[in-house]
Amino acid sequence: MEPIYVAAFISFVVGLFGYIMVRFWILPIGRYIKVKSRFASDLSVFLDMLQAEQSRNSENSQIQDRQVSIRRHSSDLVSIYQNELPYWYRLYLESKKEQPLEAAEFSMRLSNTRKLEHAFRQTDEIKGFLRLK
């Protein structure tokens, strides 16, 4: 067998494994991290809005829009976690005590919460489940 055929076969196998790793490991993990960071930034903005709104006690459409955004990011996070992440990465997240499914439950509650003290308590729970600062 000529060396060019061996090199072509080896490059095909390496390319195949590279495609599988990128498509099924790197892209889903990157998507999860990106959605989690968006979720964290929306949550921090939401907390800032709540603290500013606490003194006024009025309904704010921006707060409601942020609640919808939090709910959307939460559902995206759960979808990626359940359908796309490789099993070994889910085990890694469990070993870090990161639980996006439980955080999604509290974020759904948060989107329907009207009392500020309950909202603060639920955001603390979400931060604990997602290991956010």
Contact by Cβ (8 Å): 130, 96: no
Contact by Cβ (8 Å): 73, 45: no
- Rounded-to-10 torsion of CA 132, 115, 48, 99: 10
| Of 113, 123, 117, 125, nearest in space to 45 by CA | 123
Q: pLDDT class for 36, splitting at 50, 70, 90?
A: very high
Q: What is the pLDDT of residue 49?
A: 86
- Rounded-to-10 torsion of CA 114, 119, 120, 125: 170
Give the mean pLDDT of 106-130.
89
Give pLDDT tens digits for 42-94.
999 998 888 887 766 556 778 888 888 999 999 999 999 999 999 999 999 99
Domain ranges of the chain: 29-130
Report the chain's mean pLDDT, rounded to a whole number. Answer: 91
Q: What is the pLDDT of residue 52?
A: 82
- Degrees to nearest 5, angle at CA 30 with 12 and 38: 160
Amino acid identity at 31 = R
- Give the residue with greater pLDDT, 111 vs 97: 97
